[in-house]
Amino acid sequence: MTRPLTIAACFALAALSLPAAAQDTPPAAAPTAAAPVGNAESGKLLTYTCQGCHGVEGYRNVYPHYHVPKIGGQSTEYLVNALHEYRRGTRRHPTMEAQAQSFSDQDIADIAAFLSELTP
């Protein structure tokens, strides 16, 4: 799913493309958007398909050398970072990349909130 860039993102991309010499003064610190607060109940609904691979004891995916990790009980920070990395393509696994690209930042926060509360 493709989403249009916001005006702020367009300005940020334009600033990055300026030559280094044109950036004499250090840029002012931009206000950072607060990370969304996760809702575990919403996350429970979003993790339904995750159970197919991550919820089955001893399950291995199609790559015989790759063991599917248990994600229940992982830290919220770890889960959020992993899903963002899959969404950006900096962490590679075709199925996870496809899943993560369908999630909004709020979805990721909700998923992490739910999964981090589970007992491993």
pLDDT tens-place string over residues 88-106 = 999 999 999 999 999 999 9
The pLDDT, as a whole number, for residue 69 is: 83
Q: How many C-beta neighbours within 10 Å does residue 117 have?
A: 14
Is residue 4 in a domain?
no
Length of the chain counted residue by residue: 120
Q: Which residue is it, tokens 């491993």?
A: 120
Is residue 71 in a domain?
yes
Is residue 102 in a domain?
yes
Is residue 32 in a domain?
no
Residue 7, burial from CB neighbour count under 10 angstroms (0-12, 13-18, 19+): exposed
Whole-prediction pTM: 0.66
Is residue 106 in a domain?
yes
CATH number where 47 lies:
1.10.760.10
Residue 78, domain extent: 38-117
pLDDT along the chain (120 residues), means of 10: 43 43 50 84 93 71 67 95 97 94 97 92
Domain total in the chain: 1
67: which strand partners? Answer: 60
Answer yes or no: are the C-beta atoms of 9 and 82 closer than 8 Å.
Answer: no
The pLDDT, as a whole number, for residue 75 is: 96
